[in-house]
Amino acid sequence: MKLFTPLTLPNGAVITNRLAKAAMEENMADADHAPSDALVRLYKAWAEGNVGLMLTGNVMVDHRAMTGPNGVVLEDDAHLDRFRRWAQTARAHGAHVWMQINHPGRQMPAALGQTTLAPSAVAMDLGALSKQFPVPREMNAADIADVQQRFTHAAVLAEQSGFTGVQIHAAHGYLLSQFLSPITNKRQDQWGGPIENRARLLLDIVRSVRGAVSPQFVVAVKLNSADFQRGGFSPDDAKRVVELLNPLGVDLVELSGGSYEAPAMQGQARDGRTLAREAYFLEFARDIVGIAQMPLMVTGGIRRRAVAEQVVNSGIAMVGIATALSIDPNLPRDWRAGKNTAPVLRPITWKNKVLGSLANMAVVKFQLQRLSQGRGTNPRVSPFRALVVQQLANACQTRRYKRWTAQRALH
């Protein structure tokens, strides 16, 4: 079965099978914003499930720029021992483990009390929830150079920690995705206007990272196939970015889609309607297969073996699975044994799409918390209950984060 054949990447690295745990935001840092014991236990569960590749949740390249209050940060070598333990545990059964490195740009909660940076001063449009995100400050050339240096440094530290690669996050409405989208990038300089300019920062980061790590260390990119907003980053833009990435030594491109404003990456859970199919970024990926010189991975809604097989049979190299692996970490092992397990969460039928999206993320995090405690998951948990638990945890973690940043500012 093709799902369980190895994949050799352009740099010669070999992944044992075609199933990847796609990134999910764990928000499980310890008091130093390094990997916690709970986070290490969570990756132990996925390692034992025999997935071929694990992509970590967001690791932030700047402690002042967080997607959430309890995220892992890697900007110096102060706690590399904990990162080494994370990598070692995750790799114990032969999987590749790539650190997803990220900067949120304007998608940082106002409650964290930090200055928000973005390509342009365009506020988030989330209806009544818009006030939870401040209007960002437009980045200057020094800010842009700093971000490039931070991505590169984080990649070097990831390699030193024993990870087998990094994934540069340029999707889901985070900073690099904001540069790519004409909705969020209104600049008139060399970083704005045509797609070649909007892609400049991503391309410069990829070149810088590739030049700073060893050849056998994987450099991957996560890219939106589209951001599903009128006038935004389009499938044609995505194709052009892949063409621009082709000569830069990228080992794999993962295609996803959406942002906080249009959370397409969550699939059916965002509105409870059954989608005509899983793998809803697959049609975009098929278009890009013809021009991409690196392997592609598709993530979004995949939970059945037959669908995963359909993905690899269509020429896509890797199948990214997120929610299904939050419910059942042993899914790859079960599929290999011939079982047709297809884990699913309760559908969320709330009218408010943004609240539905937050509830969906909370339900997934609820599963991750249970796995990190060595407990069984509960896919039938009430979305309302999961959201309340998540909001209370967020409030406590936000207070802790603000104390931590205040202490750092004193040193």
Model confidence pLDDT, tens digit, residues 326-353 = 999 999 999 999 999 999 999 888 888 8
Distance CA 397, CA 205 (A): 31
Residue at 106: amino acid letter:
R
Q: Alpha-carbon distance 121 to 109, whole Å?
A: 16
User: In the prediction, which pLDDT does 14 show?
Assistant: 98
Can you give the pLDDT at residue 263? 60
Residue 44 pLDDT? 98
Tell me what pLDDT residue 362 has. Answer: 94
pLDDT by residue (tens digit) across 3-41? 999 999 999 999 999 999 999 999 999 999 999 999 999
pLDDT of residue 7: 98
Length, in residues, of the chain: 411
Tokens of 260: 């906080």
The encoded tokens of residue 36 equal 């916690």
How far is it, in rounded angstroms, from Cα 313 to Cα 335?
16
User: What is the reported pLDDT for 262?
Assistant: 66
pLDDT digits (tens, 9 = 90+) for 270-314: 333 333 345 557 778 888 999 999 999 998 888 999 989 989 998
Instruction: Name all domains of the chain by residue range, CATH numbers in brackets.
Output: 2-410 (3.20.20.70)
CA distance 346 to 360: 9
Stretches in the chain below the pLDDT threshold 50: 267-277
pLDDT of 267 reads 46
Gap between the terminal Cα atoms of the chain? 56
DSSP designation for 360: H
